[in-house]
Chain A
């Protein structure tokens, strides 16, 4: 019986050393102060248990061993308290009081020299010191049991399980130690053997609650998985990307027990963010460099660990990042795999939402277009209706000059309206790909010279032409004429005094540039320049439809080319057209 109990006590000591090793390994991985406290606390307990065995086998001949054991024991209490402080902070005064009490008691214990050996007799002062030791240590290790359990309420499932596991771990430590202190193997009874077996049996529980393995973390997640399956539809049918990202992030955090996280779109734009201030995100995520692969990195406290997984959608690759917090401070490969799966589902949902958003945007563009077109038509119509109704009623009393003036304005407004309607039809046909274009090789240089020759002399004097010879492009000849004329007209109307028309071969393509030395296009207008009805504020003198550049862009794209706006150095506007070369 005695041997059995003794053997079990050796096993218990070895168990503590094992837990200490696990905690130390965790600390090596995370380098967190909190984990260091846990490692130190369990290491001290391991040392104390081993010293206890040595003391016993040497028949308590070394009082020094007892002193070291006592100090180590009280030290473990302090570090357990500090570990708990890492989760649920304690005030500085409480920590200081604990430290002072523990040091004071240690000194008292060394001074008093508690008797050791089997069945020691204690005098009064020794009893007081012994009671103090047990009471202090019990408070340091006992209070967290209650605190962790209490903190676990109202938290998401995974965090709750983690906190309760810690509570259980502290409880286990007390049970094992009480067993070790109260059992004297010399007078071993069956009851004591049973207690000792139970104590040793608790060591695996301590081990997994301090460092929960993958299967346990999956089990904790199980209930969340069920809920997620039930609400997957809500994810898939989110109304926009922001809402989708927010919901996806909350689930990612629940599944991993993370405390914070964020979601980035394909252009690194922030879509959702929980528990992190937006201005801190740049700092936190700068370690997460590889966007294409799932990544787990260790960050400085308080964030701890971060897992980033790619969010693949048709638009590009964004990512989902979760940060471990105080309650779940360790992620593993298991969480990375789970998040990867989650990210795949979110990627599909993102594509769906993008389509919906695009449809909604197109619908809005169309409505705006119609509303703008109606407004543009109303202006000449107002003049026409107003003038014709006035003339119908009073033409007899009007002077010839007044009538002539009115007819002139009527004609101008009617022409304007006709131009606008023609342009609207033109643009609509080009956009639908129904404009009848005959793409063929066209000699650009002679086309340009013809256009320039047809210009009014005043305009021609303002124009400088720098065109290479024998430049062939792919275009519809009539429409190419329309494009160049439109760009030149804009330059003469809105640009500076001097206009330059250039055309040069560039590899397989041809670059045609119309530029001027005017004030250029205002910055706020540049991005919308080729949209219908977008005009500068001083358009009232000009009688354009507001559709010119939209049509020009549509035609050039139908030729297989492109057009862009550039500010000209030092001043002025520059429209750069790239066309496909031919021959």
Chain B
């Protein structure tokens, strides 16, 4: 059974890239372009991990992360934060608030794949 990753990102070019990389690595990929759709998709499809951009329309990445943490979802659905904010403090905050990993844009295929492999393996 393929592991499912939910990608939350509003840039179509990046969604395409992530889908391209992860599908070729054997994952099944869902996507949402805003925080509210993302939360609904988590409930409906119970993905194995969420790749979450911070700067998205509606409820932003931090809001989605908080909601997942407060509903206890994070236990079974690890989150990898994705952002162009390349500051150590953002990475630190992401980990503090319960994310399992943090990736800075731009990232290469290997980095994305290995991070998700690790996170998905860790939660199972």
A378 touches B106 (CB 8 A): yes
For B88-124 the 0/1 string (1 means CB < 8 A from A) is 0000000000000000011111101000000000000
- Which B residues touch A390, using CB under 8 A? 17, 20-21, 24, 109
Once the chains are docked, how many angstroms separate the CA of A380 from the CA of B12? 10
B106 touches A386 (CB 8 A): yes
Q: Closest chain B residue to A541 by CB distance?
A: B12
B16 touches A383 (CB 8 A): yes
- Asked if B40 is at the interface (CB within 8 A of a chain A CB), the reply is no
Once the chains are docked, how many angstroms separate the CA of A50 from the CA of B17? 106
A386 touches B109 (CB 8 A): yes
- Asked if A382 is at the interface (CB within 8 A of a chain B CB), the reply is yes
- Asked if B63 is at the interface (CB within 8 A of a chain A CB), the reply is no
B33 touches A540 (CB 8 A): yes
- Which A residues touch B12, using CB under 8 A? 540-541
Shortest C-beta distance, B13 to chain A (Å), equals 4
- Asked if B3 is at the interface (CB within 8 A of a chain A CB), the reply is no
Once the chains are docked, how many angstroms separate the CA of A390 from the CA of B110? 7
Once the chains are docked, how many angstroms separate the CA of A155 from the CA of B2? 81
For A396-416 the 0/1 string (1 means CB < 8 A from B) is 011000100110010011001
B20 touches A387 (CB 8 A): yes
A540 touches B18 (CB 8 A): no
- Which B residues touch A382, using CB under 8 A? 11, 13-14, 17, 84, 105-107
Q: Closest chain A residue to B15 by CB distance?
A: A383
A379 touches B14 (CB 8 A): yes
Once the chains are docked, how many angstroms separate the CA of A169 from the CA of B24? 99
For A144-183 the 0/1 string (1 means CB < 8 A from B) is 0000000000000000000000000000000000000000
Instruction: Count chain A residues whose beta carbon lies closer than 8 angstroms to a beta carbon of B.
Output: 29
B21 touches A413 (CB 8 A): no
Q: Closest chain A residue to B103 by CB distance?
A: A382
Once the chains are docked, how many angstroms separate the CA of A382 from the CA of B33? 17
Once the chains are docked, how many angstroms separate the CA of A301 from the CA of B111? 75
- Asked if A197 is at the interface (CB within 8 A of a chain B CB), the reply is no
Once the chains are docked, how many angstroms separate the CA of A398 from the CA of B24? 8
Shortest C-beta distance, B33 to chain A (Å), equals 7
CB contact list, A363-391 vs B, under 8 A: 374-375, 378-387, 389-390
A383 touches B17 (CB 8 A): yes
- Asked if A229 is at the interface (CB within 8 A of a chain B CB), the reply is no
Q: Closest chain B residue to A537 by CB distance?
A: B57
- Asked if A394 is at the interface (CB within 8 A of a chain B CB), the reply is yes
- Which B residues touch A386, using CB under 8 A? 14, 17-18, 20-21, 106-109, 112
Shortest C-beta distance, A562 to chain B (Å), equals 33
- Asked if A393 is at the interface (CB within 8 A of a chain B CB), the reply is yes
Q: Closest chain A residue to B111 by CB distance?
A: A389
Highest count of chain A CB atoms <10 Å: which of B18, B20, B112? B20
B24 touches A379 (CB 8 A): no
Q: A375-B84, A394-B24 are in contact. Are A389 and B14 (CB under 8 A)?
A: no
Once the chains are docked, how many angstroms separate the CA of A413 from the CA of B112? 19
Once the chains are docked, how many angstroms separate the CA of A397 from the CA of B63? 39
- Asked if B46 is at the interface (CB within 8 A of a chain A CB), the reply is no
Q: A378-B106, A386-B18, A390-B20 are in contact. List 18 more A-B contacts (CB 8 A).
A: A382-B11, A382-B13, A382-B14, A382-B105, A382-B106, A383-B13, A386-B14, A386-B17, A386-B20, A386-B108, A389-B109, A390-B17, A402-B20, A409-B16, A409-B17, A412-B13, A538-B57, A540-B11
The 7 lowest CB-CB distance pairs between A and B, nearest first, are A390-B109, A389-B108, A386-B17, A382-B106, A383-B13, A385-B106, A382-B105
Q: List 10 A-B contacts (CB under 8 A).
A: A379-B13, A379-B84, A379-B105, A380-B13, A386-B18, A386-B20, A386-B21, A387-B21, A398-B24, A409-B13
